[in-house]
Structures are given as structure tokens and as C-alpha cells.
Amino acid sequence: MVIKEYMIAYPKASVIILSFAVTLVMTIVTKYFTNQSRMKELKGIQKACQIKLKDNKGNPEKMAEIQKEMMACSMELMKHSFKPMLITFLPIIIFFWWVRGVYTMTSLGGSWIWYYLVAGIVSSIILRKALKVA
């Protein structure tokens, strides 16, 4: 298998490439399986609520009301993000199981996951901006 040989020969580069590829797939799934306009609207509401919270620091009743609204937005955001997670969960679990087996034979050993996480976070930030994903 050519891919496996490349992964063993160049473990750091291959972890970064794999992380970018997985993040790209997950970002595309998120973009097309969620209501992007509603998610952007909810994030806007949350930002407005955060500003209101700062403005009403001395008023506990108003703060409780604002926090209730923020919680409702958070719950709806979580509901929207659940669908892409369900779609990608099993393939990602299988992928990680396979990758772990490959990288235990390399110089990275058990530290490959840290390279993957850092590359995934950076890739996610870049791809979400580039693909305009909420």
C-alpha cells in the first residue's frame, strides 16, 4: 500500500496532510448538512447577548434573562451541529483506529495525536474562514 509506506517514511508530514484532509471533509460535511444562515444568526444573537451581559452587570434579574436567551441559542446551535457529527463519527473512529496502528510503527509512536490535533486546529480555522462555515 503506497499510502501506508509514505506515512511510515514521512510520519510528521503525513500526519499534517491527513489532518488537513480529514478537517476538509468534516468542514464540507458541516457546511452542507447544516443551516448556515441560521447558525450565523444564532452566533450573532450570542454576541449581542454577551454585550448585553457586560452592560447589565449590576442587574441580576436582567442578567438571568439574558443568560436564559444565551442558553436557548447554545442549545439550538448544538442541535444543528449534531447532524454532521453523526455523519462523520463512525468513519472518523475507524480512521483513527487504522492511523494509530500505522503510526505506532514510526518514530512518532504515541505522540502522533498531538501533531494531528495541532494541525487539525490550524486547518479548521483556515478552512472555516475560506469556506465561510458558521
- Residue 26 is predicted with a pLDDT of 95
- Residue 57 is predicted with a pLDDT of 85
Q: Are 29 and 88 in contact (CB under 8 A)?
A: yes
Predicted structure pTM score: 0.82
Q: Are 15 and 115 in contact (CB under 8 A)?
A: yes
Task: Please state, in angstroms and rounded to a whole number, the distance separating the CA atoms of residues 9 and 68.
Answer: 53
Which residues, at least 6 apart from 108, have a Cβ–Cβ distance to it below 8 Å?
A: 11, 12, 15, 115
Which portions of the chain are predicted below pLDDT 50? Answer: none
Return the number of other C-beta atoms located less than 10 Å from residue 11's C-beta.
20
- Residue 105 is predicted with a pLDDT of 84
